[in-house]
Amino acid sequence: MRARMIQLSHAYRARGGAPVVERVDPAIFTHHYFAACLACPFCHDWCCSFGVDVDAANAERILAQADALEPLVGVPRGQWFDRAADVDDPDMPSGRLTRTRVVDGACVFHRRGGRGCLLHAHALATGQDYHDLKPIASALFPLSFDGGTLLLANEMAAGTLVCMGPGRAAYDGVRGELAYYFGDELVAELDRLAARAAPVDTASTSRRA
């Protein structure tokens, strides 16, 4: 049976105005994974096999740098986003989201011939804050958010995330990202909740690619 969500002391609004977090799934403190993503020797960037939800305003920031990004991506800019997937979404700062396309078995912004997210790598290489380009859904993975609740991403909740098993708690792995988006006050409250959470063994559900 799924644990009851924990109501936070108050709502925490992310920079940009959304998402808003009012509740937390205690599973974020008890499910573990190999959090050092780029040092992982077995996942082969499995989580980059899919497209990712992107705030519409974030997509426009990416397209504003298309001249620099297009040679790195190797796919024309008009094919980066699946506009048929565009929907209104109050969890996004702009109130609307789109989704990146999958090309040759991976997100169009996966670093071909390397590891990880091309948007993240490009931002670092050009002295930018990677949060300006990298989608919040990617930065917070394997956590997600939905209708005011901070919770496990679907892959971890379903036990299909390749790197589940011994390692850091899902919350601990993205603690710094939560502080960036929501502030230190939220992290302080989550730290108190994490200290009371009992760990569970997820090794039996782990998979190796």
Q: 45 near 110, Cβ under 8 Å?
A: yes
Model pTM?
Answer: 0.90
pLDDT reported for residue 207: 33
How far is it, in rounded angstroms, from Cα 45 to Cα 119?
15
Query: Which residue(s) pair with 158 in the sheet?
Result: none
Domains in the chain: boundaries: 6-205
Residue 148 in 3-state DSSP? coil
For 85, 109, 146, 151, the CA distances from 13, given in Å and listed in that order, are: 25, 28, 13, 16
Per-residue pLDDT 10s for the chain (209 aa) are 456 899 999 999 999 999 999 999 999 999 999 998 888 888 888 989 889 999 999 999 999 999 999 999 999 999 999 999 899 999 999 999 999 999 999 999 999 888 899 999 999 999 999 999 999 999 999 999 999 999 999 999 999 999 999 899 999 999 999 999 999 999 999 999 999 986 554 443 333 32
pLDDT reported for residue 7: 98
How far is it, in rounded angstroms, from Cα 35 to Cα 140?
12
